[in-house]
Homo-oligomer: A and B are copies of this chain.
Amino acid sequence: MASVFSSPQAAGGPRSLAKILDAARAVLSEHGYPALTIEAVAAAAGVGKSTIYRWWPNKEALVADALAEVFRADDIPDLGDTHAELRYAVDMTIDNYANEDIAASLPALAAGLLPHPELMTRFREAFLFRKRENIAVALRRAVGRGDLPDDLDTDLVQDIWAGTILYRRLMTGSSLDADLAEHLVRLVTDTPGRRSGESDRESA
């Protein structure tokens, strides 16, 4: 596989690349993100540190790639049923943030990347954009069926879904169960779905 953090020509050693990414996930699971060092990953992968530094500039970039491989970004199948498709999308998002490696590493990873806008952009590309586009396709399919309003803000829907799930996982510690998934789907299917900026403020 090609690393999003490596130049195309550097992505030439697929076997050691795969070994390094496996090792990064293994070190992460066993010792956690703060204790993960390039040295530890190199030792676990049986390669030299310089081999890792040839492909990744730092620990953040390596971990973002290692997690991107286990981060689900499925095409949402056309099930002919809007509720089922949106539930598929929400369940996939829950899967991603319930994943121990991802959830345990994401805060420190984001903290390491935020001061570096270029790395942050690559992190978003590795993690988020493919998943978001695939979910947007399903949302637009539902709009096409007339099940959701024409002016649906597909970005906002996804910010609400992923934000609620991530917040529960990291901040409140409350559960990510089927009830939550069902509620997040209905938030979209049961709401008139006006764009923000319209003037109607009546409560339901």
Contact at B179–A197, with CB atoms within 8 Å? Answer: yes
A10 within 8 A of B: no
Contact at B196–A183, with CB atoms within 8 Å? Answer: yes
Contact at A182–B160, with CB atoms within 8 Å? Answer: no
Contact at A182–B197, with CB atoms within 8 Å? Answer: yes
Contact at A104–B114, with CB atoms within 8 Å? Answer: yes
Contacts of A82 in B (CB 8 A): 203
A111-B107 Cα distance, complex, nearest whole Å: 5
Distance in Å: Cβ of A106 to nearest Cβ of chain B: 8
A171 within 8 A of B: yes
Contacts of A182 in B (CB 8 A): 196-197
- Interface majority SS (helix, strand, loop, mixed), chain A: helix
Distance in Å: Cβ of A202 to nearest Cβ of chain B: 8
Contacts of A171 in B (CB 8 A): 110, 124, 128, 162, 166
Residues of A77-96 contacting chain B, CB below 8 A: 82-83
Among B153, B180, B186, contact of A194 (Cβ-Cβ < 8 Å): B186
Among B114, B124, B174, B187, contact of A191 (Cβ-Cβ < 8 Å): B187
A172 within 8 A of B: yes
With a 10 A CB-CB cut-off, give which of A179, A201, A202 has the most chain B CB atoms: A201
